[in-house]
Amino acid sequence: MNEGDVVRIVRSYIEGLFPRVCPNCARRFASLREYLETTTHLASPILYDDLTEGVPEKPLGPMSLANCTCGTTLTVSSSGIPTAQIVVLLTWARAESSRRSITVRELLRHIRDRIDRQVLLEGPEDDAHDVPP
């Protein structure tokens, strides 16, 4: 597994979480792109799992927080990813962060930022794949 694989897996999962609705103001985010364009990330993604001795059998996985325009904090978590896949992703993250001499949170932020750039650089016309004019 390499970084590109991780980005594809995580992006695909996150895109599948949309549409979403803010529980406070009922703003509807039709897509990940719309969510990224109208919310503000809060710091780096959070990981409550302690990876110092390895990946736990049943990890919680990372979550990313963002503020809606109304001020409500929204969460994108990995809770729907199968446990076996989270273990593989966190095992990669643990080894990769060590190889790069950065923290796992720094690596998670890098992955999140890379996904954000990909999504935001694609134009709306990219959402209608192979549709003739």
What is the per-residue pLDDT across 81-131, written as a single tens digit (0 to 9) for each? 999 999 999 999 999 999 999 999 999 999 999 999 999 998 654 444 443
Query: Rounded to whole angstroms, how far apart are CA atoms 22 and 3?
Result: 31
Record the pTM.
Answer: 0.86
Q: Yes or no: say if 117 and 109 are a contact pair by the CB < 8 Å rule.
A: no
pLDDT tens digits along 49-69: 999 999 999 999 999 999 999
